[in-house]
Amino acid sequence: MNGSKINIVIDTNVIFMALYDPTSKAGKVINAAIENKIELYTTDTVQEEIRRVLKREIRLQDEEIEEKIRNLPILWIKKEIYAEFINKTKVKHKADKPLEALSILLNCGILSADHHFKNRLDINKFLEKIE
């Protein structure tokens, strides 16, 4: 690594995997952000989705969910910041347009388990680069 932080847009599925299993590859990504090796960004829509997923899949209470979200080393970006880039997105799934718009704005890749993103980063190659 060259000393400057790598910016990454992170998707709900990677955040969930990291919270579910902190020793997973996704957990290593979160740890890299905690260690200031990378900077993680995501959208306000992902924050809402992670709330729903944690409640549904792990059955956490609202207070536990808010604490987990608060402790994540992620910068949550509001729609007003990336909205003008929505029309430049190519992804067909409407719910993923904010992520792609944010990645266009920040000129960086998306870390996601979904393969339909054009600028998706491979987690294995990414981890090799930051370790």
Domain ranges of the chain: 6-124
Q: Say which CATH topology domain 6-124 has.
A: Rossmann fold (3.40.50)
Q: How crowded is residue 29: how many other Cβ atoms within 10 Å of its Cβ?
A: 26
Q: What is the pTM of this model?
A: 0.91
Q: And the tokens for 18?
A: 């990291």
Q: And the tokens for 45?
A: 């829509």
Give the pLDDT confidence score for residue 117 in this predicted structure.
Answer: 87
Q: Which of helix, strand or coil describes residue 62?
A: helix
pLDDT digits (tens, 9 = 90+) for 68-88: 999 999 999 999 999 999 999
Give the pLDDT confidence score for residue 39 in this predicted structure.
Answer: 97
